[in-house]
A = this chain, B = another copy of it.
Amino acid sequence: MGKLVTEMLKGTLEGIVLAFLSGRPAYGYEITAWLREKGFADIAEGTVYALLIRIEQRGLVDVEKVPSEKGPPRKVYSLNAQGQDYLEEFWRTWSFLSDRLAQLREGGR
């Protein structure tokens, strides 16, 4: 979609991935494929892996290495309690921003 969405994704992509992980554990390659399918066609794989490492280092997810039938072992990420808390705060912040924008869009002062 271009540069615009790239900038908007900053801070948001993290929430998107965490929200996905709140549904079920998943590994990087899988998450990338899901994003592509969902219309985020141009999100680079490298971006997702970097993000996963970041949220792991912040202690928002637990990681388990699982052997794969095809290719190298998968790193399966699952949202932990701290991640849940963070996700809730993400939704609060998103709501705030989203509300402001909606108001602004309707010629709101």
Contacts and interface: CB of A to CB of B under 8 A. Distances in A.
A5 B96 contact: yes
A109 B89 CA distance: 21
Contacts of A104: 16, 19-20
B5 A93 contact: yes
A20 B109 CA distance: 8
B19 A105 contact: yes
A36 interface: no
Interface residues of A, number: 33
A6 interface: yes
A98 B40 CA distance: 13
Contact of A105 (B10, B89, B91, B105): B91
Contacts of A89: 4
Given A38-B100, A100-B38, A4 B107 contact: no
Interface string A10-21: 111011100110
Which of A5, A8, A14, A93 lies at the interface centre, i.e. has the most chain B CB atoms within 10 A of its CB? A8
